[in-house]
Amino acid sequence: MTALLPAWITRDAALIIAARALHTFSQGLLAVMLGVYLVEQIGIAVLLVGLFFGLGFASTAAFSFLSTFVSERVGRRKLMVVYSLITLAGSVGLAATSNPAALVVFAFVGSFNGAAGNVGPTQSLEQASIAGVVAPARRTELFALYRVVASTAGALGALAAGLPVALESFAGVSEPASFRIVLWGLVGLRLVIALLFTLLSEQVEAERERREWINPVRLPSSGRIFTLTGLFSLDQLAGAIIVRGLLALWFNERFGLDLASLGVLFFIAQIVGVASLWVAGKLANRIGLINTMSLAHLPSGLLLLAVAFSPWAWLAVTFLLVRALFDQIDVPARDSYIMSVVQPHERVAMGSIHIVGRSISGTIGPTLSTGVLAAIALSAPLVGSALVKVTYTLSLYFMFRNVKAPQEMRAAERREG
């Protein structure tokens, strides 16, 4: 597998990246398709769609919270396989039933959160594993590659959201059956993900002397861990208020864009985002991780405001695509930063608590968004999301601009020497 990749990318890193790509493909497809499917095929009210997505985030929070305490004792590989099999069961339920009450349960089991693959039960374990199988100087580049591959797969997933329409048009399949075929295909992908995790080596685990039950409150870096978690949770709240599933629903309700058009739109947006990810690693090496995160979010928030107030579909689409240039630049920098400013045995705790906080915000966001959408105005969630993003950006910059990652300090010393 690694023959076509640079020598510094290990087999374990390649396996994790491949698993993440399959995950984001399936999530990218569901992010566009699921909201429309639940409303038009199942008959669920818009407000309950927000609850459905919120439960998906709650599931991720629960899995990540468990990882904080047991991952180093039980083993990262075992947990990744177990979590993958649990979400596989949720995918089977989603494909097999049309009962709204059962679907709510499977939303939790399968972690169906309406996001485009940015969060998931195994993410903190993947990040901690990747950070340990690469040289520190290459860490941000590897996280950038991890995100580039994942985002490209997510873009293809968004494009694949038009498959039900294609099956109806070219294969004569009925509309309900076309959705079922796609959902069963996703079950197969979830099975492959679990199999990939079984192939990981011992290298992804923590050092043997550190394999113990973890109390995150008593870790040396606990203050930094919880402060960063609070800030990143604020960022996640902004994103969860208008997750892709709800943004697709917004374009559908506001401008009448159909599922095929939405698939193309979010495919293009994701590809544009991938281009920005290639820049992220180099930009972070030049201006620093915190500066990279901050510079990306301000224009992203302002452009989301522009989308909200656009009177025509073409203008809203234009602003959304320009926003995509900035929306992902901060992600590899954030991944690298949170894995660098803590000790190696604290990485799963950092990643897990970070994802727990983000997932709790994600649980609140969709429900809050659909409630506001129904009670106030269609574009109100977009405005709220933009304002929260700006608040997060300024807070992160002023609180952490002087806290450098070790590799940044070493690079600065080399330049001065």
Classify residue 162 by its DSSP letter. Answer: T
Classify residue 207 by its DSSP letter. Answer: P
CB atoms within 10 A of CB 171: 10
Return the pLDDT at 369: 58
Classify residue 199 by its DSSP letter. Answer: T
What's the CA gap between 144 and 150, in Å, rounded?
10
Return the pLDDT at 209: 45
What's the CA gap between 137 and 341, in Å, rounded?
14
Q: Where along the chain do its domains lie? A: 8-204+214-410
What's the CA gap between 376 and 380, in Å, rounded?
7
pLDDT in tens, the chain (417 residues): 555 667 778 889 999 999 999 998 998 888 788 878 888 888 887 767 777 777 877 887 788 778 777 777 788 889 999 999 999 999 999 889 888 888 888 888 888 876 655 567 888 788 888 878 887 778 778 888 888 888 888 888 888 888 888 888 888 888 888 989 999 999 999 999 999 999 998 888 866 545 555 556 666 667 777 888 888 888 877 776 676 767 887 888 888 888 788 888 888 887 887 777 777 777 877 888 888 888 777 888 888 888 888 889 999 999 999 988 887 788 778 878 877 777 776 777 777 777 777 767 766 666 665 655 554 556 677 777 788 888 888 888 888 888 887 777 776 666 665
Is it true that domain 8-204+214-410 has CATH number 1.20.1250.20?
Answer: yes
| Contact in structure between 407 and 281 (CB atoms under 8 Å) | no
What does pTM read for this prediction?
A: 0.69
Strands, E assignment, 216-336: none
CA distances from 3 to 237, 288, 343 (A): 40, 31, 31
* Site of tokens 């522009």: 306
| Contact in structure between 412 and 287 (CB atoms under 8 Å) | no
